[in-house]
Amino acid sequence: MQNIEAGQIEENILLPMLERSISFLKEDMHISVTSNNLEVVCPNQVELKKNTAMIGTGGSIQVIITMSYDDELLDKLVEAFLEGEEVPEDEKDEVKESVSSEIVNTIVGNSLTNPLDGTTLSITPPILIYEAKSLFKHKSSKIATATIKTEFGDMLLTVIGPKESFADTLNFKEL
């Protein structure tokens, strides 16, 4: 299995996801992106937002991808998904979780191909991470992250890889 470097994670995984995320927000959800200045950084630690969905890729490139949303942005995304349909109060959290999972599934599924051989990457079912947590990079992994700013708050995209080097030691630290 071939490993990919941080620069390749940024170029082949994070940047296509950023492009698809922006087009998804603008074109599909009709949410304005307020800044075209996107900075990709490779930190040692990432503070996730309260509303986070995580998905993994399989095949020759194995990474973990997270998408985190500010509360107001996720509320607007849910509203756009439901197209004005009312949701009973006791079902709102479940609907938010479902929309969050569907968004990460859609964006990752529509944006990624395997840069090593041009094939489509397989993806795992989304997993929800409740409440704010931190991701810490393992010594032989890389984290690449970028924030998309919208009129309703931010969406944080994070890619962690290669998976083989940290699968047993990825640490979700409760704040």
> Which burial class, exposed, middle or buried, applies to 91 when counting CB atoms under 10 A from its CB (0-12, 13-18, 19+)?
exposed
pTM of the model: 0.81
Cα–Cα nearest to 131, from 159, 90, 97, 80: 97
Alpha-carbon span 31 to 111, nearest angstrom: 19
User: Domain 6-174 is of which CATH architecture?
Assistant: 3-Layer(aba) Sandwich (3.40)
Which tens digits make up the pLDDT trace of 142-164? 788 889 999 999 999 998 876 44
- Can you give the pLDDT at residue 120? 67
pLDDT score, position 72 = 95
Rounded CA-CA distance 112/119 in Å is 9
Could you tell me if 52 and 68 are in contact, meaning their C-beta atoms sit under 8 angstroms apart? Answer: yes
Q: Name the residue with higher pLDDT: 5 or 87.
A: 87
- How confident is the model over 57-99, as pLDDT tens digits? 877 677 889 999 999 999 999 999 998 788 888 998 899 999 9
Q: Is the pLDDT of residue 2 over 70?
A: no
C-alpha 131/C-alpha 136 separation (Å) is: 16
Q: What does the alpha-carbon distance between residue 7 and residue 21 come to, in Å, rounded to a whole number?
A: 20
- Give pLDDT, residue 70: 94
- The pLDDT of residue 10 is 66
| Domain definitions of the chain by residue range | 6-174
Q: One-letter amino acid identity for 70?
A: D
